Amino acid sequence: MRRSFAGIFVGAVFAAAAAFMVSGCSETASSTSAAGLARPDHTQYRYTGEVYLLRGLANVFSTGLDVMNDKFHARGVNSKVDNHAVWRNWADDIIARDKAGKVSYPIIIMGHSLGANATMEMARYLGDRGIHVSYAVSFDPTITGEPGANVDEAINFYLPNGKKGKDANIIVEGTGFTGKLYNVDVSGVEGMNHFNIEKNPELQVKVMTKTMGLLGTSVPPTKPGDNR
């Protein structure tokens, strides 16, 4: 079944490109702009912390991340979702705000496919610059990820691609990594594939429960009707 992945992927790319041209994606235009990078005052949220979700190719394959983003928002969590290509902008924004004491910790990053690759890149980039990343989650990356220093925990849910070296879709300890690292093979789950792995309810519950346990309490919302 994995042998047919390339053919399935190519067909899906054409379908996704057509869909993207027609519909676009709700958050991409604003969140990739300079103004969209700014994080709101965290006191408007129920929890401290910042959650970053990185989609894969064309923004249409990773809709499970959008579902999680909506669920985080409903719980009062400061989260955002966008294409994998923005990870460096997000990271540089965090670094700049950290110098001004305006980052709300903990930092949590998740991504799917190319977004999974970017998740570990972003975690390592931040960690190498002294930014503490509490939790990094990848859903079926396409290459090997290497979280590094200042990353507490990294977990990878994947379907083995049969490749070796840097092309294997696993995560390994990068330079300076001293945290917990897990590779979880989910190929035994019936119906699981590259395009639905981040949509799996059990995996979503697992990573969201872990995230909620890491977040701290913040000032409760004060606007009428916000206490959902």
The sign of the CA dihedral 200, 142, 30, 35 is: positive
pLDDT digits (tens, 9 = 90+) for 39-83: 555 568 999 999 999 999 988 889 999 999 999 999 999 999 999
Task: Indicate if the pLDDT at residue 34 is higher than 60.
Answer: no
Radius of gyration of the chain (CA): 17
* Surface-to-core class of residue 168, CB atoms within 10 Å of its CB (0-12 exposed, 13-18 middle, 19+ buried): middle
Within a 10 A sphere around the Cβ of 127, how many other Cβ atoms? 24
More confident: 146 or 43? 146
pLDDT of residue 224: 40
Cα–Cα–Cα angle for 177, 183, 184, nearest 5°? 155
Task: Indicate if the pLDDT at residue 180 is higher than 60.
Answer: yes
Range of weakest confidence among 20-24, 109-113, 116-120: 20-24
In this structure, whether the domain defined by 2-214 belongs to CATH 3.90.400 is answered with no
Closest CA relative to residue 124, chosen from 167, 171, 166:
171
The residues that bridge with 53 in the sheet, in sequence order, are 81, 110
Share of the chain above pLDDT 70, in %: 77
Task: Indicate if the pLDDT at residue 15 is higher than 60.
Answer: no
Choose the most confident range, by mean pLDDT, from 33-42, 57-66, 118-127: 118-127
Task: Indicate if the pLDDT at residue 211 is higher than 50.
Answer: yes
Tell me which residue has tokens 């700014």: 38
Q: Could you give the dihedral angle defined by the CA atoms of residues 227, 106, 209 and 62, in that order, rounded to the nearest 10 degrees?
A: 90
- Across 185-209, average pLDDT: 98
- Across 18-47, average pLDDT: 48
Q: Model confidence at 165, in pLDDT bands (50, 70, 90)?
A: very high
Its pTM stands at: 0.82
Average per-residue pLDDT for the chain: 84
Q: Cα–Cα distance between 117 and 73 in angstroms, integer?
A: 24
Domain ranges of the chain: 2-214
Are the C-beta atoms of residues 215 and 49 closer than 8 Å to each other? yes
pLDDT of residue 14: 41
For residue 141, whether the previous peptide bond is cis, meaning omega lies within 30 degrees of 0, is no
Within a 10 A sphere around the Cβ of 84, how many other Cβ atoms? 22
How would you list the strands of the sheet with 79-83, edge to edge?
79-83, 50-55, 107-112, 133-139, 153-158, 180-185
Are the C-beta atoms of residues 211 and 135 closer than 8 Å to each other? yes
Task: Indicate if the pLDDT at residue 29 is higher than 80.
Answer: no
